[in-house]
Amino acid sequence: MTHYDAIVIGSGMSGGWNAKELAEKGLKVLVLERGQKIEPAKDYADFLNPWDTPNFDKIAEDEIKQHYAIQHRGVGYAVKESTKHFWVKDSEHPYDTPKDKPYDWLRGHHTGGRSLTWGRQSYRLGPQDFEANKLDGHGTDWPIRYDDLAPWYDYVEKFAGISGSHEGLPQLPDGVFQPAFELTCAEKVFKKNLESAFASRKVIPARVAHLTAPTAEQMALGRGPCQARNHCNKGCSFGAYFSANSATLPAAMRTGNCTIVNNAIVHSLDYDATTKRVTGVKVIDAKSKEVTTYTSRIVFLNASAIASAMILLQSKSPTYPNGLANKSDQVGRNLMDHVSAASANGVISGFDDKYYYGRRPGGIYIPRYANITEDNKPYLRGFGFQGGSWRESWTGNKAGIGADFKESNRKPGNWRISIYSFGEILPNPENRVTLSKDKSDKWGLPQAYIDCEMGENEKIMMREAQKDAYSMLKEAGATDISRGPDAELDLSLPGNRIHEMGTARMGRDPKTSVLNKWCQAHDVPNLFITDGACMPSGGCQNPSLTYMALSARAANHAVKLFKQGII
């Protein structure tokens, strides 16, 4: 079968949601995944001990250098011998950048995409995030506001399972939560002292996509509660954290309306100038290189922000010589990520008789306060801090030999607490991805050329965030603080936070944006894009929860148009 009601390109965070919503509403859905099929029993490594793997699960240095240099630089903690199949080989998927503007494109080609390897921090955007572009003039105005998306946040949170606490913060709206993971004793005193010193700042439990009180619906999909083992980057055999593999794709498949084709590399989208519709998707088999065209009435493009832009740019026709749906010349532009650099950690004293049980998937979060509860900052927008506490190593704390040495290492070290910044990047049309004019990949498709750098606002923001990180730890009573307010900062490379966004942004005006308020292409009514490409701005919060809500909202709108015969 090559004809379907809807085709979804990409099986990850947003693609899985589109597959679920479309299939559950009765449409026959084809999901195209460019990578391999994932089988949890074979491919997950969460029950594999490091000592049961070659070299204690470390990839040989020569292999890292040859195949995984970029992936390992970005997420070395997750790229191991047992998990390297969750990450692309850089050697097989090259791309170019200007010599003075490196970019870390961190990817995984397999069923579920990066929903298998994401950090699972799950925060709503606040009302201020939907209004920021209009207020300060950077980027294009969002065509929706928080109230438009709020019911869809509710909808996806209930299905996905988000643990968190209700805090009543306007800039970080509460959601439909399962019980939050408890703060440690060190975090509780840090919270008390910091909020006493800074009335406008709050410390809350991290909001993470982990089940703590599974619903009947979640258990029916084979999901169970989080075991707090911290093997999340190896795949979760319990289905405890949200992924397309554990939740949305099984929900889609149980309808009998969904088909998944793996090793399907999208070459381009076919466009009919008479009907002004996309008619199908041309696909290259990753192994045989055989070309197949699948047809449908609707196409959802969810290949990730950079890959989705590339597919549009590759889909040229007489009507769209510069790429499909690109009359605005905005496809590929406004590439964003988040910026990090500011961080600090310090000792919290007074709890040497206490330890923790298990390994929580999240610690603390300090929601954005800059330019919200605190004004007159020397930068636009703002940042949040993620962090947590731990006890330093049981071994190696003191040097020596003999009985005294052994005794000194029978107790854990000090309690430490750490905070780490995530800041917003301003939309910039010069930060962009284009197609290489002279370099192709092994399937004959143009390589990506990524030209992106941090701006002056991001640099100022991180310098100020470093001052804040130090002062918060100091005022909260921490000692032996690792980095002072004037620490030299090495800004994270663009792409390194793995939150790429903005390359086919939503907007009110077709002349300055690619998509309308439903994530529907202005120029091509049966084409929808709901991955990070659709974002007009990024806020400072982790964006995956917003992708989910936008996807569910757009898919339900597409079904209405489909059943009305409009698309």
408-456 pLDDT per residue, tens = 777 788 999 999 999 999 999 999 999 999 999 999 999 999 999 999 9
Residue range 16-39: mean pLDDT, rounded: 98
Q: What are the tens digits of pLDDT across the range 341-359?
A: 999 999 999 999 999 888 9
For residue 51 the two structure tokens come to 């000592």
Helices assigned H by DSSP within 456-538: 456-475
158-210 pLDDT, tens digit per residue, is: 999 999 999 999 999 999 999 999 999 999 999 999 999 999 999 999 999 99
Running DSSP on this structure, what letter comes out for residue 371? T
Taking the alpha carbons at both ends of the chain, their separation in whole angstroms is: 21
Dihedral angle at the C-alpha atoms of 208, 213, 216, 222, nearest 10 degrees? 60
User: Angle at the Cα of 315 (from 313 to 318), degrees rounded to 5?
Assistant: 105
What is d(CA 550, CA 161) in angstroms, rounded to the nearest whole number? Answer: 17
Number of H helices, E strands in the chain: 13, 17
Q: Where are the domains of the chain?
A: 162-241+338-424+455-490
Question: Binning pLDDT at 50, 70 and 90, where does residue 402 land?
Answer: confident
Q: Which amino acid would we find at residue 275?
A: T
- pLDDT attached to residue 397: 54
Closest CA to 289 of 262, 265, 321, 254: 265
Q: What is the mean pLDDT of residues 296-304?
A: 98
DSSP code of residue 230: -
* Residue 221, SS3 per DSSP: coil
B/e letters for 110-136, b = 16+ CB within 10 Å, e = fewer, are: bbbbbbbbbbbbbbbbbebbbebbeee
What is the residue type of 517? Answer: K
What is the identity of the amino acid at 543? P
Identify residue 92 by its one-letter amino acid code: E
Residue 300 has pLDDT above 90, yes or no: yes
The confidence score (pLDDT) of residue 416 equals 97
Whether 396 has a pLDDT exceeding 60, the answer reads no
- According to DSSP, the β-strands at 527-529 and 415-424 are unpaired
At residue 405, the pLDDT reads 76
The residue-averaged pLDDT of 487-516 equals 97
* 310, pLDDT greater than 90: yes
d(CA 347, CA 327): 56
Decide if pLDDT at 290 tops 90.
yes
Q: Round the CA-based radius of gyration of the chain to a whole number and report it.
A: 24
- Tell me the mean pLDDT in the region 96-121: 98
| Residue 257 scores a pLDDT above 60 | yes
Q: Name the pLDDT band for 505 (thresholds 50, 70, 90).
A: very high
Backbone angles phi, psi at 384, to 5 degrees: -125, 170
In terms of pTM, does the model score above 0.95? Answer: yes
List Cα–Cα distances, 226 to 113, 165, 369, in angstroms. 21, 17, 31
Q: Phi/psi of residue 25, each to 5°?
A: -90, 5
- Other C-beta atoms lying within 10 Å of the C-beta of residue 202: 20
- Cα separation, 304 vs 106, whole angstroms: 11
> 427: closest CA among 126, 138, 142, 129?
138
Nearest of 211, 239, 228 to residue 40 by alpha carbon: 239
* Type of residue at 231: H
Alpha helices, DSSP H only, in 394-543?
402-408, 456-475
Mean pLDDT of the 13-39 span: 98
DSSP state of 107: -
Angle at 377 between CA 373 and CA 383, to 5 degrees: 65
Residue 401 in 3-state DSSP? coil
Helix, strand, coil proportions of the chain in percent (round to 5)?
Answer: 30, 20, 50
Q: Do 473 and 484 contact (CB within 8 A), yes or no?
A: no
Q: How far is the C-alpha of 381 from the C-alpha of 370, rounded, in Å?
A: 7
| Residues above pLDDT 90, as percent of the chain | 94
Token reading at 202: 């709050």
The total number of residues shown for the chain amounts to: 567
Across residues 291-295, what is the average pLDDT? 98
Q: Is 374 helix (H, G, I), strand (E, B) or coil?
A: strand
Q: What pLDDT, on the 0 to 100 scale, is given for residue 494?
A: 98
